[in-house]
Structure 1
Amino acid sequence: MAADTPTETLDAVVMGAGVAGLYQLHQLRKEGFKTRLFEAGADLAGTWFWNRYPGSLWDEDLYKGWTWSERFPGQPEIERWLHYVADKLDLRKDIKFNARVTSAHYDKGRNRWTIKTSAGDVIDTHYFVSCGGMLSAPLKTQFEGQDKFKGQIVYTSLYPAEGIEVKDKRVGVIGVGATGIQVIQTLAPKSGHMTVFARTPQYSVKMKNPKWGPEEHKEYHGRYEHTRTTVPHTFSGFDFDWDPKVTWANSTPEERQKVMEDSYEDGSLKIWLASFPEIFFDQEASDAVSEYVAGRMRKRLNNDPHLVDAIVPTLADYGFGTHRVPLENGYLEALQLPNVEVISVRKDRNPIKRFVENGIELEDGRVVELDKIILATGFDAGSGALSRIDVRGRDGRSLAEEWRKDIRTTMGLGKHGYPNLLMTAVPLAPSAALCNMTTCLSQQTEWITRAMVDQRNDGKAFLEPSAEGEDKWVKHHDDTANATLVTKTNSWYMGSNVPGKPRRMLSYVGGVGVYRKKCEEERDAGYPSFVRA
């Protein structure tokens, strides 16, 4: 068989067996599209398969047929839930595991995509639907000499299912973002000694995670209809939202303090995404909420000057909520354990110089001896999953090359020059960062399914964003983002953590409900931002 001879002919290929991919497969099968899902991993669950470090409303029957053990369930339980969904909907028969998509080339003459995988598949397909995830392309080899270290190096994004042995071991953790925090609070008490290499300090919120019993399960199952009709229209896709009667400008100092206290004590992301909307664009509000959260952190650190300096952001660093806000449970207490050392390795302090055989050498010449190093060093967010694949559109144009010059999409659903390539969790949609991902990914896959059905019903062969439509969306996205304080901060939200990546707010910040409405308007108007033929 020739290298490019198709092994299978399909209506649609779906890439990625996480929340979006599984739901997309379910919908397309239901609509009669001959579909196959390809997954790089050995099993399903996407993020919850790969990210095993410690620490959806598709259907009413699915919703009511599952009971969660706690308010914020951990990775193992979420992975079990996704297995439950896949088995309940009999999805596995159309999923191929250990088959990473390596290339996707569009043939303009035939209006077909040729998809190749690491398992040797050559698929001839009409549509290519990317559900590769917003945080699925880990950053590697960021430090000189990583190959010289004789101990074990583990990426949080590729954490071994069996875990790692840390008892009586010298463990180093690089990074104090969301994943680093979860690793530290879980492994520090079990480690022989842990050294935390703190790069960028992060505002964090203490999580309240009560266990759920029969009463909570009954209440959860009973609010299906309320959740179905309200959550998709909130600002962030969570079950809380801004109170239109509560703004920074119309509140007294006492009222502001009470809102901050009440939303913080909720033990969720409410203080970030449902306290005062002005924290995103008004400096006074941002400074006040930032200082409130920092004050709560300093108090839990017993105002230890070294820990406060290394771990707690200041107003000179950035404002609360302009980075992703991690929830934590015991993180700040773990940093104070006698077997834990925290070293600030900010660029202006004592940064990591290189890895050596027995550990990590700092700029001042000190060598921290380690047995294991855990890298919680982030991702090439939003664009990384597709940029690491050889995706070629009309006339051989390369998606990776285009995104290296300018990060552009149309509503985070398609890209000009790439007919019948439909996307989730890519830049310029809320699902790229600022959203309850299950809510946003469900909405995007539903829009994609309806668009494909409309194409079939209208006898159209391809759907491609127009240049004008893309320009219009990029301008709207940028105008919305640039009105906020988020664009003034260097973070992965802006692509700043990836050398050479074009600077643009990755996530649409206009709100989940607003984005959904704009997507519906696009469809209702007959897809004016797209070319259909």
Structure 2
Amino acid sequence: MSTPTSDELDVLVVGAGFAGLYQLDRLRNLGYSVTVFEAGSDLGGVWYWNCYPGARVDTWAPLYQFSREDLWRDFDFTELYPGWDEVRRYFRHVDRKLDLSKDIRFSTRVIGAEFDEERRQWEVRARDERTGETSSVRARYLVLCTGFGSKPYVPDIPGLDTFAGECHHTARWPQGGLDVTGKRVGVIGTGASGVQVIQESAPDAAHLTVFQRTPNLALPMRQQQLDAAANRAMKESYPERFAMRATTFAGFDYDFQDKGALEVSDEERTAVYEKLWETGGFVSWLGTFNDIFFDAEANATAYAFWRDKVRARITDPATAEKLAPTVAQHPFGVKRLSRAALLRGLQPGQRGPGRPPGHADRASDGDRGGDRGRPRARARRARPGHRLRRGHRRDHGHRHPQHEGRVVRRRLRGRDTHPPRDGDGGLPEPALRVRAAEPLGLLQRSYLRGAAGRLGRPMPGTHAGERVDPDRGDPGSRGGVG
């Protein structure tokens, strides 16, 4: 059923995550009439959809919030790395402070948009996810705050459509949760979401099988519980930490060190790696020596340290080779790392990473043993697009420029904008996309250009004397799902 166009707006924002809520508040304060369309039934963007076991942020709590003092002054986090439920609590807090929900249409999915050249407006079609009814709205500006991973990718696995057990995607997890107690569970994929699901499911599942293509380089999280005193102490440095986010390579309140891994002795290098490891989180990745992404030999020292740390926790040599190969399958840090309570999910009697079973095994009645009728839950991390995975698969095991210490340079699209027409002010008319740009692995390739200029190092793969423009790079920000 369709209803006629009734609303005319200055701005229509799509998505009620961090970016969408910021746009709503900012544009309202500038005097625009603004409405947000959100497909989910509540605030949070990716944090509405990602509620699978273990889902939590990859960033220290003080940095994973808006920097306005009226929003952080009276909100306390309970963990250093908040889980999805605490992030939702933060969004509800922001909503109460800014009264945002009154201008948000929840359970409303945008299904199409066309620009009317004559009226110089967007006509946007949307569907009510509860009733199925469609409607239209006209807006002069269309702002897409949909993020880079809002559309889940489901792999084309033969037999998936006839699998009799339960099957779930981490990016569309049941809002009421999923009980895997006593069940046979298979997890496909070992990205950040896969690692989190594995860790949380392993203690409860009767049997856990992990299907891995490429081992994940996971770092220790060093989770901490935060009481009122800890929050008060952290808030004393919030303004300085927020300001620093805009000046660093990855938007954290720390940056690469002012020395290279090959500029120090073996003893000093190991001591630095040990300190970073004990600090936890992404510091070992993005607060390490400044030549890790520019020199293959320096990068190899980082991987060797990580590999040996992980192998020290694994007793079975075959499993150790699967999880932390002797020879790196790609340079350390060029693909997104995870932070976790390392390998907690691999309990005795449970299968570790392995190759997917044959087609006949996939299309079954929910089990691969003799426990007929005991369903398996399938989890897969959502990513921006499978074309990236195809690219990695194609290069896997073959000579690749990255393996020679060079970074593949690819042109990345930034915000999709067009200049305003003559006589227009404010926002450009065509759709703006406020997004997290690309996966961090690709963002690094773009940012490295700027980092090379700041660090006074040549961009890998450039000719001697070639100028590196430190301002070139993708303007997007990091994603937040850990």
Deviations 1:281-323 (A, max 9, x none): 2101111101111111111113x12211322245341111111
Q: For each residue in 1:168-226, what CA deviation from the matched residue of structure 2 results, as whole angstroms up to 9, or x when unmatched?
A: 11111111111011011111101122112222111111110111123311112111221
> For the structure 1 residues 237 and 352, does the alpha-carbon distance in structure 2 shift closer, same or farther, using more than 3 Å as the test?
farther
Q: CA deviation at 1:342?
A: 1.7
Q: Which amino acid aligns with 1:358?
A: D
Aligned to 2:30: 31
Amino acid of the structure 2 residue aligned with 1:125? A
1:409-428 paired onto structure 2 within 5 Å = 409=413, 411-414=414-417, 419-425=429-435, 427=437
Equivalent residue number for residue 391 of structure 2: none
Matched, 1:118 2:127: yes
1:70 aligns with 2:79: yes
Aligned partner letter, 2:322: A
> What SS class does the counterpart of residue 137 from structure 1 fall into?
coil
Larger helix share, 1 or 2: 1
Contact 2:165–2:376 (Cα < 8 Å) also in 1: yes
Q: Which amino acid aligns with 1:357?
A: S
Residue 185 (structure 1) aligned with residue 199 (structure 2): yes
| SS, match of residue 113 in structure 1 | strand
> Equivalent pairs: percent with the same residue?
31
Partner residue, 1:260: 273
Report how far residue 278 of structure 1 moved. 1.8
* Correspondence 1:229 to 2:238: no
Q: d(CA) in 1 for partners of 2:329 and 2:146? A: 32
Note the C-alpha offset of 1:339.
4.3
Q: 1:236 to 1:426 in 2, by over 3 A?
A: closer
User: In structure 1, what is the Cα distance between the partners aligned to 2:437 and 2:411?
Assistant: 7
Contact 1:170 1:191 in 2 (8 A): yes
How far apart are residue 274 of structure 1 and its match?
0.9
Q: CA RMSD in A?
A: 3.5
Q: Distance in 2 between matches of 1:95 and 1:223?
A: 33
User: Aligned residue for 1:279?
Assistant: 292
Call closer, same or farther: CA 1:277–1:311 in 2, change over 3 Å.
Answer: same
The correspondence of residues 291-440 of structure 1 with structure 2, limited to 5 A, is 291-302=304-315, 304-329=316-341, 331-335=342-346, 337-345=347-355, 355-359=362-366, 371-381=375-385, 409=413, 411-414=414-417, 419-425=429-435, 427=437
1:49 lines up with 2:77 in the alignment: no
Query: Aligned residues, how many?
Result: 420
Determine helix, strand or coil for the equivalent of 1:29.
helix
In the TM superposition, residue 510 of structure 1 has moved relative to its aligned partner by 9.4
| 3-state SS of paired residue (2:114) | strand
2:68 counterpart of 1:59:
yes
Q: 1:420 corresponds to which letter in structure 2?
A: P
Q: Distance in 2 between the 1:163 and 1:428 partners?
A: 29
- Report if aligned partners of 1:248, 1:276 keep a CA contact under 8 Å in 2: yes
Map of 2:480 onto structure 1: none
Q: Is the 8 A contact 1:53 1:156 kept in 2?
A: yes
Whole-angstrom distance in 1 between the partners of 2:52 and 2:39 = 19
The residue aligned with 1:87 is 96
* CA offsets 1:398-428 (integer angstroms, 9 cap, x no match): xxxxxxxx9853x335369995311122546
Q: Which amino acid counterpart does residue 338 of structure 2 have in structure 1?
A: P
Give, in whole Å, the separation in 1 of the partners of 2:95 and 2:135.
Answer: 23
Q: What is the alpha-carbon distance in structure 1 between the residues aligned to residue 229 and residue 223 of structure 2?
A: 16
User: Where does residue 219 of structure 1 map in the other structure?
Assistant: 233
Q: Give yes or no for contact 1:172–1:194 (8 Å, CA) kept in 2.
A: yes
- 1:54 to 1:202, Cα distance in 2 relative to 1, 3 A: same
Conserved? CA contact 2:367–2:375, under 8 Å: no
The whole-number CA distance in structure 2 between the counterparts of 1:9 and 1:131 is 20
Moved over 4 A (4+): 350-354, 366-370, 381-384, 415-419, 428-435, 482-485, 513-516
The offset of 1:375, in angstroms, is 2.1
Q: Is the 8 A contact 2:180 2:377 kept in 1?
A: no
Q: How do 1:426-505 residues align onto structure 2 when only pairs under 5 Å count?
A: 427=437, 483=459
Please say if residues 153 and 374 of structure 1, whose CA atoms lie closer than 8 Å, have aligned partners that are also in contact: yes
Distance of aligned partners of 1:382 and 1:231 in 2 relative to their CA distance in 1, 3 Å threshold:
farther
Query: Which residue identity does 1:412 align to in structure 2?
Result: R
Residue in 1 aligned with 2:424? none
Deviation at 1:6, TM superposition (A): 2.2
SS of 1:190's equivalent in the other structure is: coil
Q: Is the 8 A contact 1:180 1:376 kept in 2?
A: yes
The runs of 5 or more residues in structure 1 that have no matched partner are: 385-405, 436-472, 486-508, 520-533
Shift of residue 91, structure 1, vs aligned partner: 0.2
Q: Distance in 1 between matches of 2:182 and 2:438?
A: 46
Q: Answer yes or no: is the 8 Å Cα contact 2:111–2:125 preserved in 1.
A: yes
1:352–1:319: structure 2 CA closer, same or farther, 3 Å change rule?
Answer: farther
> TM-score by structure 1 length?
0.71
Q: Scaled by the length of structure 2, what TM-score is found?
A: 0.78
